[in-house]
Amino acid sequence: ASNWMSAASLMGLAGIIYLQGYQGLAYVTGWTGGYVLLLVLLASQIRRFGKFTAPEFVGERYGSQGARVIAAMISIAISVIYCVAQFKGLG
């Protein structure tokens, strides 16, 4: 929950609803639904494989160290972009 309701998401959601009105709620609903879908589809698979991170799961699932490295790089890139939005929300 702390990852979902961060400064970045709080500012983004408020901005979308401010700019688009009730139509912006479709984005909020889709975002929340996406998290639930991710939980239902991916969490059980990761738990079944006994892994804790998405790169570990990808590497084990596809039997490839290269796939694991690519998944880790994607995770790092997403985290950096997310941190930029967090720092922007900090002020």
Q: What one-character-per-residue DSSP string does the chain give?
A: -TTTSSHHHHHHHHHHHHHHGGGHHHHHHHHHHHHHHHIIIIIHHHHHHT-SSHHHHHHHHHT-HHHHHHHHHHHHHHHHHHHHHHHHHH-
Higher pLDDT, 3 or 43: 43
Q: What is the percent of the chain with per-residue pLDDT over 70, rounded to a whole number?
A: 92
pTM, entire model:
0.64
The predicted-structure confidence for 11-50, as pLDDT tens digits, reads as follows 777 888 888 888 888 887 887 788 788 888 878 878 888 8
